[in-house]
């Protein structure tokens, strides 16, 4: 591992003081601490930024980046990453976290086991601390062209690394990769950057590697349903707040149009109409149609009805 390698850990937060402090404490307890931590604060009014800055005895420089406006997780990560990669901070790679993804003590050390490659993206695995299963289903490469969705480590052969795809939280993004594919698209706000940025990895031919020894404790959704529609498995969280559901549908419709065209976008809209109506009832149809319309017409950024 090059001695000059400089790792920056980044995450965004808003009005989740104790959650963000828990993440920062986990980073300070790393056997190989990051060389820099950048936290984007999305206009918290509960004292989050001050509490983070006043946490004593950190083994790394800390930048609490106060956002000029609330840009959600996507915008916060975009700005935090760019700040970490700036000439003044000069990170070699950025470790993308959520404020509620808490690295276990050896997580970063395991992620950096040699040999280092700056043309691939390694990532930690996410473990739900209650169920002990994977926080989110993970796609693992099983054959040269085949992929298998796993829900727990028991479903993976015992090996230190496995090739995966479509992973976001816990990803270690080298500067070379960021320079190749560009910054995170902050206008997705939330629930879209985790799909769009890994898609760009794949489009650029960048391999994603799960390092099994590098784990984050990351609570999963209280309920995660899945169903087969149009030949694909679609996961859904019943009872999402309107604003979360809006961003999820808008961004997925927008991304499907970008990936595969109008037909794929309308297929995604139809899938969500079926799924949401099945699990949440018909009362949310108008919200689904509004979100899909905005996705089709690339109306990104913060939703006009986003709660203050």
Q: pTM here?
A: 0.94
Residue 229's contacts (CB-CB under 8 Å, 6 or more residues apart) are 271, 274, 275
The residue length of the chain stands at 308
Task: Copy the structure tokens of residue 257.
Answer: 């149009």
Phi, psi of 202 (to 5 degrees): -65, -40
Measured between its terminal Cα atoms, the distance across the chain in Å is: 46
pLDDT the model gives residue 122: 97
User: Exposure pattern of 47-58 as b/e (b: 16+ CB <10 Å)?
Assistant: ebbebbeeeeee
Query: Of 95, 96, 100, 226, whose CA–CA distance to 151 is shortest?
Result: 226
Per-residue pLDDT of the chain (308 residues; tens, 9 = 90+): 666 899 999 999 999 999 999 999 999 999 999 999 999 999 999 999 999 999 999 999 999 999 999 999 999 999 999 999 999 999 999 999 999 999 999 999 999 999 999 999 999 999 999 999 999 999 999 888 789 889 998 888 767 889 999 999 999 999 999 999 999 999 999 999 999 999 999 999 999 999 999 999 999 988 888 777 776 777 888 899 999 999 999 999 999 999 999 999 999 999 999 999 988 999 999 999 999 999 999 999 999 999 87
CA 186 centroid distance within chain: 12
For the chain, the domains span 7-217, 225-296
Distance, in Å, from the CA atom of 189 to the CA atom of 294, rounded to the nearest integer, reads 13
259 C-beta neighbours (distance < 10 Å), count: 14
Q: What is the pLDDT of residues 79-115, one digit of tens each?
A: 999 999 999 999 999 999 999 999 999 999 999 999 9
pLDDT the model gives residue 293: 97
Q: At what angle do helices 193-203 and 72-85 cross, to 10 degrees?
A: 50
DSSP letter for 110, please: H
pLDDT the model gives residue 95: 98
pLDDT the model gives residue 142: 83
pLDDT the model gives residue 2: 64
Q: What is the mean pLDDT of the chain?
A: 94
- Answer yes or no: are the C-beta atoms of 33 and 27 closer than 8 Å: yes
DSSP element (H, E) containing 52: helix 48-53
The SS3 call for residue 14 is: coil
Distance, in Å, from the CA atom of 132 to the CA atom of 88, rounded to the nearest integer, reads 40
CATH fold of the domain at 7-217:
Spore Coat Polysaccharide Biosynthesis Protein SpsA; Chain A (3.90.550)
Q: Kindly list the distances between the CA atom of residue 186 and the CA atoms of 56, 100, 136, 201, in Å, as whole numbers in the listed order.
A: 31, 20, 22, 17
């Amino acid at each position: 591992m090059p001695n000059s390698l400089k790792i920056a850990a980044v995450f965004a937060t808003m009005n989740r003081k104790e959650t963000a402090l828990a993440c920062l404490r986990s980073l300070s307890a790393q056997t190989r601490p990051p060389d820099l931590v950048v936290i984007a604060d999305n206009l918290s009014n509960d004292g989050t930024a001050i509490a983070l800055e006043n946490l004593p005895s950190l083994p790394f420089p800390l930048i609490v980046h106060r956002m000029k406006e609330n840009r959600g997780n996507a915008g916060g990560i975009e700005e935090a990453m760019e700040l970490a990669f700036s000439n003044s901070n000069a990170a070699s790679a950025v470790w993308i976290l959520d404020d509620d993804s808490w690295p276990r003590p050896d997580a970063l050390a395991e992620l950096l086991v040699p040999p280092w490659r700056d043309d691939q993206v390694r990532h930690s695995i996410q473990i739900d601390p209650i169920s002990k299963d994977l926080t989110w289903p993970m796609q693992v490469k099983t054959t040269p062209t085949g992929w298998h969705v796993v829900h727990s480590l028991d479903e993976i052969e015992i090996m230190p690394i496995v090739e995966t795809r479509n992973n976001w939280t816990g990803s270690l993004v080298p500067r070379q990769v960021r320079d190749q594919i560009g910054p995170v698209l902050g206008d997705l706000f939330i629930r879209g950057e985790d799909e769009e940025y890994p898609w760009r990895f794949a489009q650029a031919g960048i391999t994603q590697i799960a390092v099994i020894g590098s784990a984050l404790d990351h609570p999963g959704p209280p309920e995660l349903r899945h169903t087969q529609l149009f030949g694909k498995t679609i996961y859904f969280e019943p009872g999402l707040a309107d604003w979360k559901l809006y961003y999820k549908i808008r961004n997925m419709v927008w991304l499907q149009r970008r990936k595969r065209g109008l037909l794929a976008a309308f297929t995604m809209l139809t899938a969500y109409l079926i799924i949401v109506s099945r699990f949440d009832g018909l009362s949310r149809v108008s919200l689904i149609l509004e979100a899909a319309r905005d996705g089709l017409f690339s109306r990104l950024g913060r939703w006009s009805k986003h709660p203050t």
